[in-house]
Amino acid sequence: MTVAAEGSPPLRMAGSRRSPLLQSEAVQGLALISPTFVYALILLVLPILVVIAHSFWTQNYLTIDHTFTLENYRIALTEPIYRDLLWRSLYISLTVSLLTVALAYPIAYFISFHGGRHKSLWLFLITIPFWTSYLLRVMSWKVILGYNGVLNSGLMGLGIIDEPSTALLYNSSAVIITLTHAWATFAILPIFVSLEKVDRTLVEAATDLGDGPLRSFLRVTLPLSAPGIISAALIVMIPTVGDYVTPKLVGGKDGVMIANAIQAQFGKASNWPLGAALSVTTMIIVSLMAGATVLVIRALQRLAR
C-alpha cells in the first residue's frame, strides 16, 4: 500500500487536476440534493405541468382534444357554482388559519415561556392526537357534533336545549371546527420555534423601559414571533383550501368546498380539463392569498413600536 502510494504521486496529481468540477462546493451541493430533486421533479413538477396542460384542452367523452382553449377558465371563473365554492373554500381556510393561529399561540407561548424543564414533554403530548389517523379524528368530530352526538346529548342533559340541534353538523362551521382541531399542532410548532428564538433579555429590556406584561408582549414578543405566525398561517391555510375529506365527511351540502368539485370533475363528471382549470385557478388564488397574508402580518408587525 505504502509503496504503491509512494510510487503514484504523478498519477494522483493528474487525478486531482482532472476533477476540479467535483471539488466545487456548488457541484457537491447539487449532487447531494439531486436524489430529492429528481424525486420532486417527477412527482411534483411533472404532475403540475400535466394539470396545467390539461386545463387548456377539452374533453369529448373519452378523448382529449388538444386544441388550446380558455373555455375551462371562463367556466371556472364565471359559473356561479364554482365561484361560490371557491369563495367558501377561501373563507373556510382563512377562518381556520385565523382560529388555529389564535388558539395555537397561547399554547406555544405557554410551552416556550413557562414550560420550564418539561418543554419536550409538552411538545410530545401535543403530538399525541397524531397517533390516530386523520380520518378517525374527523369521524370522532361527527360523533361529537352529530344529531345524537356528545354535544347534543350533553346540552339536552343540562336542559339547555329541548331537542337535538341540527345546526352543529353538516355545514361550514362543522368543517371549520374540525379543521381547526386537526391543524392545531402544525400551528403550535412553528410559533413555538419562533418564540424560543425571542431573546428573553429583550422582554426584560421592554419591562425596564416601563412596559407592563401586556405591552411588552404586544411590542416585543408578538412582533418578534411574526415569522412563526406567518409560517403557521401558511401551513394551515394552503392545505385547508384544497381539503376535501373533511367537507365530505362533516360538511354536508352546505360545507362542500372547491376540492370536492375538482374531485367530481376528475371522477363522476369526467371532465378533466375543467377539473384541471379549477385546480390551477385555486392554486393561483391560494398563492395570492398566502402572499397577502404575509404582507398583512408584516404590516401589523411594523405597527408595533
Partner 1 sequence: MLERVQSQSDRTMIEIRDVTRSYGSFKALDNASLAIREGEFFSLLGPSGCGKTTLLRMIAGFDAPTSGSIAVDGQPMDGIPANRRPTNMVFQSYAIFPHLNVEQNVAYGLKRLKLDAGEERRRVEEALVQVSLTGLGKRRATELSGGQRQRVALARALVMRPKVLLLDEPLSALDKKLREQMQVELRRLQQAVGITFVLVTHDQYEALAMSDRIAVMFGGRIAQVASPKEIYQRPVNRQVADFLGGMNFVKAEIVEENGASLVLDTLGFGRVRTDKPKAFVRNGGAATLGIRPERLRVLWDNATAKFEVAGKVVERHYFGEITHLIVEIPGLEKPLSVTETNDFGADDIPVGAPIRLAYDPEALVAMAD
Q: Which is nearer to partner 1, 69 or 207 (CB)?
A: 207
Spatial contact of 108 and 191, defined as CB atoms under 8 Å apart:
yes
- Restricting to residues 211-240, which ones interact with partner 1 according to CB under 8 A? 211-212, 215-216, 219-220, 223-224
- Restricting to residues 183-202, which ones interact with partner 1 according to CB under 8 A? 199, 201-202
If one asks whether residue 304 binds partner 1 (CB under 8 A), the answer comes out as yes
Distance CA 112, CA 200 (A): 11
Distance CA 111, CA 130 (A): 19
β strands within 54-200, DSSP E: 58-60, 63-65
The DSSP secondary-structure symbol of 169 reads: S
Question: Binding residue for partner 1 (CB under 8 A) from 7, 20, 35, 210?
Answer: 210
Q: Which is nearer to partner 1, 185 or 301 (CB)?
A: 301
Q: Report the nearest approach of partner 1 to the CB of residue 215 (Å).
A: 7
Distance CA 119, CA 113 (A): 9
Q: Report the nearest approach of partner 1 to the CB of residue 191 (Å).
A: 17
Q: Which is nearer to partner 1, 215 or 248 (CB)?
A: 215
- Restricting to residues 37-76, which ones interact with partner 1 according to CB under 8 A? none
Q: Which is nearer to partner 1, 216 or 281 (CB)?
A: 216
Q: Report the nearest approach of partner 1 to the CB of residue 195 (Å).
A: 14
Spatial contact of 275 and 211, defined as CB atoms under 8 Å apart:
no
The DSSP secondary-structure symbol of 160 reads: S
At 240, list the grid cell: 385547508
Q: Which is nearer to partner 1, 33 or 296 (CB)?
A: 296
At 239, list the grid cell: 392545505
- Write the CB contacts of 150 (distance below 8 Å, at least 6 apart in sequence): 143, 144
If one asks whether residue 280 binds partner 1 (CB under 8 A), the answer comes out as no
Where on the chain is the footprint of partner 1 (CB under 8 A)?
199, 201-202, 204-212, 215-216, 219-220, 223-224, 301, 304-305
